Protein backbone atom coordinates (compact mmCIF):
# COMPACT_ATOMS: atom_id res chain seq x y z
CA UNK A 1 0.00 0.00 0.00
CA UNK A 2 1.82 2.93 -1.10
CA UNK A 3 1.23 6.07 -2.89
CA UNK A 4 2.69 4.70 -5.99
CA UNK A 5 0.31 1.89 -6.47
CA UNK A 6 2.89 -0.72 -5.84
CA UNK A 7 2.12 -3.92 -4.14
CA UNK A 8 5.21 -4.57 -2.15
CA UNK A 9 7.70 -2.30 -0.59
CA UNK A 10 9.68 -0.20 -3.01
CA UNK A 11 13.42 -0.01 -3.11
CA UNK A 12 14.36 -0.06 0.50
CA UNK A 13 18.04 -0.30 -0.14
CA UNK A 14 18.63 3.40 0.09
CA UNK A 15 15.64 4.64 1.94
CA UNK A 16 15.19 5.88 5.44
CA UNK A 17 12.00 4.96 7.15
CA UNK A 18 10.33 7.25 9.57
CA UNK A 19 7.75 6.19 12.03
CA UNK A 20 4.92 8.63 12.44
CA UNK A 21 3.05 8.03 15.64
CA UNK A 22 -0.05 9.46 17.13
CA UNK A 23 -1.70 10.30 13.90
CA UNK A 24 -5.43 10.37 13.63
CA UNK A 25 -7.27 7.26 12.65
CA UNK A 26 -8.72 9.12 9.76
CA UNK A 27 -5.42 10.31 8.47
CA UNK A 28 -4.40 8.53 5.31
CA UNK A 29 -1.25 8.35 3.30
CA UNK A 30 -2.60 10.99 0.99
CA UNK A 31 -2.70 13.38 3.88
CA UNK A 32 0.78 12.60 5.07
CA UNK A 33 2.49 12.54 1.77
CA UNK A 34 2.33 16.24 0.89
CA UNK A 35 3.27 17.08 4.42
CA UNK A 36 6.43 15.05 4.41
CA UNK A 37 7.20 15.64 0.83
CA UNK A 38 7.91 19.27 1.55
CA UNK A 39 11.07 18.36 3.38
CA UNK A 40 12.55 15.86 1.00
CA UNK A 41 12.06 13.10 -1.45
CA UNK A 42 9.45 10.76 -0.06
CA UNK A 43 9.74 7.32 -1.52
CA UNK A 44 6.76 5.74 0.08
CA UNK A 45 4.10 6.34 2.65
CA UNK A 46 2.59 3.37 4.29
CA UNK A 47 -0.06 3.20 6.96
CA UNK A 48 -0.54 -0.22 8.51
CA UNK A 49 -4.15 -1.12 8.82
CA UNK A 50 -6.04 -3.68 10.70
CA UNK A 51 -6.48 -6.87 8.77
CA UNK A 52 -10.02 -7.38 9.88
CA UNK A 53 -11.54 -3.96 10.06
CA UNK A 54 -9.18 -2.22 7.70
CA UNK A 55 -8.92 0.79 9.92
CA UNK A 56 -5.76 2.68 10.46
CA UNK A 57 -3.74 1.83 13.51
CA UNK A 58 -2.79 5.34 14.22
CA UNK A 59 0.73 5.35 12.90
CA UNK A 60 2.43 5.49 9.58
CA UNK A 61 5.74 4.88 7.89
CA UNK A 62 7.28 7.45 5.68
CA UNK A 63 10.25 6.52 3.62
CA UNK A 64 12.69 9.15 2.64
CA UNK A 65 15.34 8.98 0.05
CA UNK A 66 17.99 10.71 2.06
CA UNK A 67 18.75 10.65 5.72
CA UNK A 68 19.25 14.35 6.10
CA UNK A 69 15.86 15.01 4.62
CA UNK A 70 14.33 12.47 6.91
CA UNK A 71 16.02 14.13 9.81
CA UNK A 72 14.73 17.46 8.67
CA UNK A 73 11.24 16.08 8.48
CA UNK A 74 11.62 14.79 11.99
CA UNK A 75 12.81 18.10 13.19
CA UNK A 76 10.00 19.88 11.44
CA UNK A 77 7.05 17.60 11.78
CA UNK A 78 7.72 16.04 15.12
CA UNK A 79 5.26 17.61 17.47
CA UNK A 80 3.17 19.20 14.81
CA UNK A 81 -0.57 19.00 14.85
CA UNK A 82 -1.91 17.02 11.95
CA UNK A 83 -5.60 16.45 11.67
CA UNK A 84 -6.04 17.51 15.22
CA UNK A 85 -3.44 15.14 16.59
CA UNK A 86 -0.01 15.87 17.85
CA UNK A 87 2.02 13.55 15.72
CA UNK A 88 5.40 12.14 16.63
CA UNK A 89 7.98 11.52 13.97
CA UNK A 90 11.00 9.37 14.59
CA UNK A 91 13.21 6.92 12.84
CA UNK A 92 11.85 3.45 12.45
CA UNK A 93 14.12 0.86 13.91
CA UNK A 94 12.54 -2.38 12.92
CA UNK A 95 13.30 -2.66 9.28
CA UNK A 96 16.53 -1.96 7.61
CA UNK A 97 19.82 -1.00 9.13
CA UNK A 98 19.99 2.30 7.41
CA UNK A 99 19.22 3.74 10.76
CA UNK A 100 22.89 3.84 11.55
CA UNK A 101 23.48 6.33 8.84
CA UNK A 102 20.42 8.17 9.86
CA UNK A 103 21.62 8.28 13.41
CA UNK A 104 24.91 9.60 12.27
CA UNK A 105 23.18 12.34 10.46
CA UNK A 106 21.03 13.02 13.41
CA UNK A 107 23.96 13.12 15.75
CA UNK A 108 25.63 15.62 13.56
CA UNK A 109 22.57 17.74 13.37
CA UNK A 110 21.38 17.56 16.90
CA UNK A 111 22.18 15.44 19.87
CA UNK A 112 19.16 14.02 21.48
CA UNK A 113 18.59 11.66 24.31
CA UNK A 114 19.09 7.99 23.55
CA UNK A 115 16.25 5.64 22.99
CA UNK A 116 15.43 3.59 26.05
CA UNK A 117 12.26 2.63 24.37
CA UNK A 118 12.03 -0.96 25.40
CA UNK A 119 11.09 -0.16 28.96
CA UNK A 120 8.85 2.66 28.07
CA UNK A 121 7.15 0.68 25.42
CA UNK A 122 6.33 -2.16 27.72
CA UNK A 123 4.92 0.15 30.26
CA UNK A 124 2.70 1.88 27.79
CA UNK A 125 1.61 -1.30 26.19
CA UNK A 126 0.41 -2.71 29.44
CA UNK A 127 -1.33 0.47 30.23
CA UNK A 128 -3.41 0.42 27.13
CA UNK A 129 -3.96 -3.27 27.11
CA UNK A 130 -7.09 -2.95 29.12
CA UNK A 131 -8.91 -0.57 26.89
CA UNK A 132 -7.84 -2.44 23.81
CA UNK A 133 -8.81 -5.82 25.04
CA UNK A 134 -12.35 -4.70 25.34
CA UNK A 135 -12.62 -4.22 21.65
CA UNK A 136 -10.32 -7.07 20.86
CA UNK A 137 -8.37 -5.29 18.24
CA UNK A 138 -4.78 -5.88 18.97
CA UNK A 139 -5.00 -9.61 19.01
CA UNK A 140 -3.42 -9.83 15.65
CA UNK A 141 -0.54 -7.61 16.54
CA UNK A 142 -0.01 -9.30 19.81
CA UNK A 143 0.09 -12.62 18.13
CA UNK A 144 2.80 -11.73 15.73
CA UNK A 145 4.81 -10.01 18.38
CA UNK A 146 4.65 -12.96 20.66
CA UNK A 147 5.55 -15.25 17.86
CA UNK A 148 8.59 -13.21 17.01
CA UNK A 149 9.73 -13.02 20.55
CA UNK A 150 9.26 -16.70 21.08
CA UNK A 151 11.20 -17.50 17.97
CA UNK A 152 14.14 -15.45 19.09
CA UNK A 153 14.04 -16.87 22.54
CA UNK A 154 13.92 -20.36 21.24
CA UNK A 155 16.82 -19.88 18.93
CA UNK A 156 18.90 -18.57 21.76
CA UNK A 157 17.95 -21.08 24.32
CA UNK A 158 17.59 -24.26 22.40
CA UNK A 159 19.68 -25.45 19.55
CA UNK A 160 17.73 -25.69 16.31
CA UNK A 161 19.44 -28.90 15.33
CA UNK A 162 17.60 -31.46 17.31
CA UNK A 163 14.41 -31.22 19.23
CA UNK A 164 13.04 -34.59 20.21
CA UNK A 165 10.94 -32.92 22.78
CA UNK A 166 9.15 -30.98 20.11
CA UNK A 167 8.36 -34.01 18.07
CA UNK A 168 7.12 -35.96 20.96
CA UNK A 169 4.87 -33.19 22.09
CA UNK A 170 3.49 -32.66 18.65
CA UNK A 171 2.73 -36.28 18.20
CA UNK A 172 0.93 -36.41 21.49
CA UNK A 173 -1.14 -33.41 20.58
CA UNK A 174 -2.03 -34.79 17.21
CA UNK A 175 -2.99 -38.07 18.66
CA UNK A 176 -5.24 -36.41 21.14
CA UNK A 177 -6.87 -34.30 18.51
CA UNK A 178 -7.49 -37.24 16.29
CA UNK A 179 -9.05 -39.17 19.05
CA UNK A 180 -11.29 -36.30 19.89
CA UNK A 181 -12.38 -35.93 16.34
CA UNK A 182 -13.03 -39.56 16.02
CA UNK A 183 -15.23 -39.40 19.04
CA UNK A 184 -17.49 -36.69 17.71
CA UNK A 185 -16.76 -35.99 14.13
CA UNK A 186 -19.75 -33.97 13.06
CA UNK A 187 -19.46 -31.30 15.71
CA UNK A 188 -15.74 -31.14 15.49
CA UNK A 189 -15.82 -30.47 11.80
CA UNK A 190 -17.93 -27.39 12.15
CA UNK A 191 -15.70 -25.98 14.84
CA UNK A 192 -12.61 -26.73 12.86
CA UNK A 193 -13.89 -24.83 9.89
CA UNK A 194 -14.64 -21.77 11.92
CA UNK A 195 -11.27 -21.74 13.55
CA UNK A 196 -9.48 -22.24 10.30
CA UNK A 197 -11.21 -19.33 8.72
CA UNK A 198 -10.45 -17.10 11.62
CA UNK A 199 -6.80 -17.94 11.64
CA UNK A 200 -6.28 -17.55 7.96
CA UNK A 201 -5.01 -14.20 6.77
CA UNK A 202 -7.35 -13.02 4.15
CA UNK A 203 -5.95 -9.53 4.03
CA UNK A 204 -9.02 -8.40 2.23
CA UNK A 205 -10.01 -4.87 2.90
CA UNK A 206 -13.69 -4.16 3.18
CA UNK A 207 -13.42 -1.76 0.30
CA UNK A 208 -12.11 -4.45 -1.98
CA UNK A 209 -14.73 -6.95 -1.09
CA UNK A 210 -15.81 -8.78 -4.18
CA UNK A 211 -19.35 -9.94 -4.52
CA UNK A 212 -18.62 -13.59 -4.95
CA UNK A 213 -19.17 -15.42 -1.75
CA UNK A 214 -18.71 -18.73 -3.35
CA UNK A 215 -17.79 -21.47 -1.05
CA UNK A 216 -14.36 -22.80 -1.62
CA UNK A 217 -13.99 -25.27 1.15
CA UNK A 218 -14.64 -28.74 -0.11
CA UNK A 219 -14.76 -30.83 3.00
CA UNK A 220 -12.11 -33.49 2.73
CA UNK A 221 -14.07 -36.65 2.66
CA UNK A 222 -12.30 -38.40 5.41
CA UNK A 223 -13.19 -42.01 5.33
CA UNK A 224 -14.46 -43.39 8.55
CA UNK A 225 -11.55 -45.80 8.50
CA UNK A 226 -12.86 -48.30 10.98
CA UNK A 227 -9.76 -48.81 12.98
CA UNK A 228 -11.19 -51.85 14.59
CA UNK A 229 -11.08 -53.50 11.25
CA UNK A 230 -7.72 -52.94 9.69
CA UNK A 231 -5.80 -51.44 12.47
CA UNK A 232 -3.80 -53.21 15.07
CA UNK A 233 -0.77 -54.69 13.40
CA UNK A 234 -0.82 -53.71 9.77
CA UNK A 235 -0.60 -49.97 10.01
CA UNK A 236 1.70 -48.34 12.48
CA UNK A 237 -0.09 -46.29 15.11
CA UNK A 238 1.98 -43.18 14.34
CA UNK A 239 0.59 -42.62 10.90
CA UNK A 240 -0.19 -38.98 11.51
CA UNK A 241 3.36 -37.79 11.78
CA UNK A 242 5.54 -38.32 8.77
CA UNK A 243 9.22 -38.91 9.34
CA UNK A 244 11.11 -36.13 7.63
CA UNK A 245 14.81 -36.54 8.24
CA UNK A 246 15.60 -33.54 6.08
CA UNK A 247 14.87 -31.09 8.82
CA UNK A 248 18.34 -30.30 10.00
CA UNK A 249 19.25 -27.74 7.38
CA UNK A 250 16.92 -25.03 8.41
CA UNK A 251 17.65 -21.46 7.62
CA UNK A 252 19.35 -19.50 10.30
CA UNK A 253 16.95 -17.40 12.31
CA UNK A 254 19.30 -14.46 12.52
CA UNK A 255 20.81 -14.53 9.12
CA UNK A 256 19.22 -11.40 7.85
CA UNK A 257 22.36 -9.40 7.35
CA UNK A 258 25.26 -10.91 5.67
CA UNK A 259 24.98 -10.18 2.05
CA UNK A 260 24.32 -6.50 2.09
Give the residue with the Cβ less far from DNA, 121 or 191: 121
Give the residue with the Cβ less far from DNA, 90 or 163: 90
Of 30, 122, 133, 174, which one interacts with DNA (CB under 7 A)? 122
How many whole angstroms separate alpha carbon 74 and alpha carbon 89?
5
Torsion of CA 143, 145, 148, 153, to 10 degrees: -100
Least Cβ distance, residue 114 to DNA (angstroms): 13
Applying CB under 7 A, does 128 fall inside the site for DNA? yes
Distances (CA, A) of 208 to 47, 196, 216: 17, 22, 18
How many whole angstroms separate alpha carbon 260 and alpha carbon 258?
6
Nearest of 81, 94, 82, 40 to residue 63 by alpha carbon: 40
Of 33, 59, 75, 78, which one interacts with DNA (CB under 7 A)? 59
- How many contiguous H segments (helices) and E segments (strands) does the chain have? 8, 6
Q: For residues 66-95, which are near DNA according to CB under 7 A?
A: 85, 90-95
Q: What is the x/- site pattern for DNA, positions 5-24, by CB under 7 A?
A: --xxxx-x----x-x-xxxx
How many whole angstroms separate alpha carbon 57 and alpha carbon 54?
9
Q: What is the x/- site pattern for DNA, positions 200-229, by CB under 7 A?
A: ---x--------------------------
Applying CB under 7 A, does 121 fall inside the site for DNA? yes
Give the residue with the Cβ less far from DNA, 246 or 259: 259
Angle in degrees, CA 151, 116, 144, rounded to 5: 25
Applying CB under 7 A, does 141 fall inside the site for DNA? yes
Distances (CA, A) of 139 to 132, 143, 149: 9, 6, 15
Applying CB under 7 A, does 57 fall inside the site for DNA? yes
Nearest of 36, 59, 197 to residue 189 by alpha carbon: 197
Binding residues for DNA (CB under 7 A): 1-2, 7-10, 12, 17, 19, 21-25, 44, 46, 48, 55, 57-59, 61, 63, 85, 90-96, 117, 120-125, 127-128, 131-132, 135, 137-138, 141, 144-145, 203
Amino acid sequence: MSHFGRSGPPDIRDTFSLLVLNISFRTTADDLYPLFERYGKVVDVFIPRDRRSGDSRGFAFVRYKYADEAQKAIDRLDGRTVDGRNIMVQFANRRGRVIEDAEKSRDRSRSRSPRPRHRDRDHRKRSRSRSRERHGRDRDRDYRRRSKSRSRSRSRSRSPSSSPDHKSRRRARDDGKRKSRSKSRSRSKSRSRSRSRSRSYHSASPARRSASPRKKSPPPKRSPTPEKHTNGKDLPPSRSVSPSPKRAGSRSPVGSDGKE
